């Protein structure tokens, strides 16, 4: 299949992960978590955005001089978005607590008792040095992030938080489109497509594990994942 057809197939294959993640996010917020639990949850999301910013920025800094200008511009826009999301989630936490957040302490506390983070997969898959892994991460993880942030926006009654998370979701969709663009440029032959599929299979399972650890693990979500990806 050509690259566009391949990316379209990947998008279809991603749907089970996105749906299962949405189900578990909704279950988490329907469980009426306490303010303390919400703050802990959102600190993890804040740190995740910062990790994305750091990893994407490192990728940009290491790119060769031959890198097309458009690619540099897109990744730079993503890094800036991640920095803005970091600030936006910080504002959400302060909105919830009514107090200024000590960011340095929050990051240190999170490091001492870390929650699961999708951004950790950038390092696991060595995405800084592997264009295919980075493109797959953007397409799958950022696409899942769009679905999850939108679901959080729908589930949260607080208008400020809901509006903020809807804005983040829109950016995550843009980042997923960067990944789709990269895959269309890179995955032009069977060998490359097979490698992307291999990365995608394990990455989807890793991202579902993140969902299970950060939200409410549901048997029906696990069933959906097993049926979609067990083969």
Full set of structural domains in the chain with CATH: 3-229 (1.20.910.10)
What SS3 string covers the chain? CCHHHHHHHHHHHHHHHHHHHHHHHHHHHHCCCCHHHHHHHHHHHHHHHHHHHHHHHHHHHHCCCCCCHHHHHHHHHHHHHHHHHHHHHHHHHHHHHCCCCCHHHHHHHHHHCCCCCCCHHHHHCCCCCCHHHHHHHHHHHHHHHHHHHHHHHHHCCCHHHHHHHHHHHHHHHHHHHHHHHHHHHHCCCHHHHHHHHHHHHHHHHHHHHHHHHHCCCCHHHHHHHHHHHCC
Q: Please report which confidence band the pLDDT of residue 231 belongs to, taking 50, 70 and 90 as the band edges.
A: low
- For the segment 187-210, the average pLDDT, to the nearest whole number, is 93
Q: What is the mean pLDDT of the chain?
A: 91
Mean pLDDT score, 21-32 = 94
Region 14-27: what's the mean pLDDT?
Answer: 96
What are the pLDDT digits (tens) for 104-135?
998 888 888 777 677 778 778 777 788 899 89
Residue 141, pLDDT score:
92
């Amino acid at each position: 299949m050509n690259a566009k057809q391949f990316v379209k197939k990947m998008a279809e294959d991603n749907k089970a992960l996105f749906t299962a993640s949405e189900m578990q996010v909704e279950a988490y917020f329907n469980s009426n978590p306490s303010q303390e639990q919400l703050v802990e949850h959102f600190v993890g999301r804040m740190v995740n955005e910062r990790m994305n910013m750091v990893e994407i920025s490192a990728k940009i800094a290491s790119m060769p001089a031959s890198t097309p200008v458009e690619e540099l511009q897109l990744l730079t826009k993503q890094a800036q978005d991640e920095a803005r999301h970091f600030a936006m989630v910080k504002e959400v936490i302060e909105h919830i607590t009514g107090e200024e957040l000590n960011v340095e302490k929050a990051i240190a506390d999170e490091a001492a008792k870390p929650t699961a983070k999708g951004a950790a997969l950038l390092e696991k898959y060595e995405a800084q040095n592997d264009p295919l892994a980075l493109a797959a991460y953007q397409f799958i993880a950022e696409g899942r992030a769009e679905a999850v942030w939108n679901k959080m926006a729908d589930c949260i009654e607080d208008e400020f938080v809901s509006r903020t998370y809807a804005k983040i979701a829109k950016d995550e969709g843009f980042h997923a489109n960067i990944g789709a663009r990269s895959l269309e440029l890179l995955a032009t032959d069977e060998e490359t497509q097979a490698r992307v599929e291999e990365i995608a299979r394990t990455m989807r399972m890793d991202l579902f594990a993140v969902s299970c650890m950060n939200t409410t693990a549901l048997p029906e979500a696990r069933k959906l994942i097993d049926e979609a990806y067990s083969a």
